[in-house]
């Protein structure tokens, strides 16, 4: 439909040019009528072809304007054949107007269909995130239970190895699912404010990789537990921010004039699929998580190898978070500038 809209726009310009030529020939001899009629015939042929394409798409409103354009085009051709230049110019202009209307209608419908498809993708992403949360939670629970049995010395090492191998495989399975969800978020990234979501899921991916590796090495507590819980936290925050963002984009149920005005104004500014505040809330949640994890480090053993590693990871996340916030602020500034233009 988008391509048809573009072609209708081109035909409208060509039809407008023909109408201009007809108006310019009113004061001259009409020996060019045959050439102009041939041009009009060519435009009719191309418009009829587009009408056939529109019928297969069931674009009723666009079809009506296209049909009106064809009627006007045919009248213009008949007028030219009868050397009625002035009438032909009027009909040609009317055809151009109808073609322009058809192009605009097709473009609007194309945008609506595209937006609807992307909204469905956002819904699917939200469902996928909740599914990941449900799959990651049992892994955290099992690791915690395993750590408790290890502390109580009530475990068999061979059974522990087998159990952790199975858990690592389960973690890798969830990781593969996450990678598919990450691809969903990345596809939406250019169309909406999904850069922060894609980055957060990438962080969760790194956490799951560490979780699986630590489980295989029997480094259950705290390495595997911390990594699996970090992944779960990021998944939960992403799901919650996405769901809240979707809810805020829904029109109000209030039918009062003020609510309808608010809905109308919101619709005019809804090229995005999520409100910017959704990404900002997610960034804030991630910042709080980094703060909490930093405070949880053992201050009495600042030089312990694991603490040094964790501090490095947190420092990297903090730097990346700062870059994400800068990108978000720049996007808001660019959108504000576009609205002022």
pLDDT digits (tens, 9 = 90+) for 39-62: 889 999 998 988 888 887 877 888
The C-alpha angle with vertex 39 and arms to 34 and 45, in degrees rounded to 5, equals: 125
Residue showing tokens 């690592």 = 168
Output b/e per residue, 275-302; b: 16+ Cβ within 10 A: bbebbbbbbebbeebbeebeeebeeeee
pTM attached to this predicted model:
0.73
Q: Hey, what are 142's tokens? A: 């099992």
The whole-number average pLDDT for the span 258-264 is: 43
In this model, does residue 27 exceed pLDDT 50?
Answer: no
Cβ neighbours, 10 Å, residue 322: 12
Q: Could you give the CA distance from residue 227 to residue 215 in angstroms, rounded to a whole number?
A: 10
Q: Could you give the CA distance from residue 318 to residue 241 in angstroms, rounded to a whole number?
A: 19
Whether the CB-CB separation of 321 and 234 falls below 8 Å is answered with no
The whole-number average pLDDT for the span 146-173 is: 85
Q: What percent of the chain has pLDDT over 90?
A: 34
pLDDT-derived band at 194, boundaries 50, 70, 90: confident
* Max avg pLDDT among 2-6, 61-65, 163-167: 163-167
Per residue in 125-139, pLDDT tens? 899 999 999 999 999
Give me the pLDDT at residue 134, please.
Answer: 96
Contacts of 122 (CB under 8 A, 6+ apart): 188, 192, 242, 246, 273, 274
Give me the pLDDT at residue 38, please.
Answer: 87
Cβ neighbours, 10 Å, residue 139: 25
Q: Could you give the CA distance from residue 283 to residue 265 in angstroms, rounded to a whole number?
A: 27
Lowest mean pLDDT among 62-71, 84-93, 251-260: 251-260
Mean pLDDT over each residue of the chain, to the nearest integer? 83
In this model, does residue 260 exceed pLDDT 50?
Answer: no
Lowest mean pLDDT among 39-48, 59-68, 80-89, 269-278: 269-278
Give me the pLDDT at residue 250, please.
Answer: 62
In this model, does residue 255 exceed pLDDT 60?
Answer: no
Give me the pLDDT at residue 75, please.
Answer: 93
Rounded to 10 degrees, the C-alpha dihedral 189/194/198/201 comes to -150
Q: Number of C-alpha atoms within 13 angstroms, CB side, residue 54?
A: 27
| Number of residues written out for the chain | 341
Q: How far apart, in Å, are the Cα atoms of 100 and each of 12, 48, 68, 192?
A: 5, 15, 11, 29
Q: Number of C-alpha atoms within 13 angstroms, CB side, residue 46?
A: 16
Cβ neighbours, 10 Å, residue 38: 12
Whether the CB-CB separation of 43 and 11 falls below 8 Å is answered with yes
Give me the pLDDT at residue 53, please.
Answer: 82
Whether the CB-CB separation of 238 and 200 falls below 8 Å is answered with yes
Contacts of 234 (CB under 8 A, 6+ apart): 200, 201, 203, 204, 207, 286, 289
Whether the CB-CB separation of 277 and 154 falls below 8 Å is answered with no
In this model, does residue 286 exceed pLDDT 60?
Answer: yes
Give me the pLDDT at residue 189, please.
Answer: 67
Per residue in 302-336, pLDDT tens? 667 777 888 888 899 999 999 999 988 888 888 78
pLDDT-derived band at 165, boundaries 50, 70, 90: very high
Q: Which helix (H) or strand (E) holds 200?
A: helix 195-216
């Amino acid at each position: 439909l988008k391509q048809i809209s573009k072609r209708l726009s081109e035909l409208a310009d060509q039809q407008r040019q023909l109408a201009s030529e007809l108006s310019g020939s009113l004061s001259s001899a009409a020996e060019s009528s045959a050439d102009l009629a041939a041009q009009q015939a060519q435009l009719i042929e191309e418009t009829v072809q587009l009408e056939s394409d529109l019928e297969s798409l069931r674009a009723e409103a666009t079809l009506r304007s296209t049909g009106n354009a064809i009627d006007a085009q045919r009248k213009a051709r008949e007028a030219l054949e009868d050397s009625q230049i002035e009438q032909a110019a009027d009909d040609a202009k009317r055809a151009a107007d109808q073609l322009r209307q058809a192009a605009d209608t097709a473009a609007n419908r194309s945008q609506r269909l595209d937006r609807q498809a992307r909204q469905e993708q956002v819904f699917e992403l939200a469902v996928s995130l909740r599914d990941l949360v449900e799959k990651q939670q049992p892994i955290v629970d099992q690791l915690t239970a395993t750590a408790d049995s290890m502390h109580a010395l009530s475990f068999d090492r061979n059974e522990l190895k087998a159990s952790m191998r199975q858990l690592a495989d389960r973690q890798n399975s969830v990781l593969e699912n996450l990678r598919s969800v990450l691809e969903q978020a990345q596809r939406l990234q250019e169309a909406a404010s999904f850069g922060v979501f894609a980055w957060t899921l990438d962080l969760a991916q790194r956490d799951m990789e560490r979780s699986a590796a630590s489980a295989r090495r029997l480094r259950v507590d705290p390495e595997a537990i911390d990594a699996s819980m970090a992944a779960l936290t990021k998944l939960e925050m992403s799901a919650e921010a996405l769901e809240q963002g979707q809810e805020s984009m829904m029109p109000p149920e209030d039918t009062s004039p003020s609510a309808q005005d608010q809905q109308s104004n919101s619709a005019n500014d809804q090229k995005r699929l999520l409100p910017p505040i959704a990404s900002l809330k997610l960034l804030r949640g991630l910042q709080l998580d980094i703060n909490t994890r930093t405070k949880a480090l053992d201050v009495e053993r600042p030089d312990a190898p694991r603490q040094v590693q964790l501090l490095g990871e947190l420092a990297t996340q903090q730097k990346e978070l700062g870059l994400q916030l800068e990108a978000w602020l720049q996007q808001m500034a660019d959108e504000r500038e576009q609205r002022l233009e």
